[in-house]
Amino acid sequence: MTTREAIVARGVPLPVPTRDNAPFWEGTRRGELLLQRCAACGRFRHYPRPTCPACLAREHRWERASGRGTVWTWTIVRGPTLPAFEAKVPYNVVDVLLDEGVHFVSEVLDCPPEAIVAGMPVEAVFVPASEAITLVKFRRRAPRGG
Binding site for other proteins (CB under 8 A): 3, 6-7, 10-16, 18, 46-47, 53, 72-83, 85, 88, 91, 93, 95, 102-107, 113, 118, 129, 133, 135, 137
**Looking at beta carbons only, is 43 or 146 nearer to other proteins?**
43
Rounded to an integer, what is the distance from CA 66 to the centroid of its chain?
13
Question: Considering the complex, what minimum distance in angstroms separates the CB of residue 61 from other proteins?
Answer: 19
CB of 103 to other proteins, least distance (A): 4
DSSP state of 132: S
> What is the rounded CA–CA span in Å between residue 65 and residue 99?
8
Cα–Cα distance between 138 and 105 in angstroms, integer?
10
Please identify, using beta-carbon distances, which residue of 84 and 141 lies nearer to other proteins: 84
Which of 87, 145 has the CB closer to other proteins? 87
Residue placing its CB nearer to other proteins in the complex, 66 or 81: 81
- Whether the CB-CB separation of 5 and 31 falls below 8 Å is answered with no
Buried (b) or exposed (e) across 50-71, using 16+ Cβ within 10 A?
Answer: eebeeeeeeebebeebebbbbb
| Closest distance of CB 144 from other proteins, Å | 22
Minimum distance, C-beta of residue 77 to other proteins, in the bound complex (Å): 5
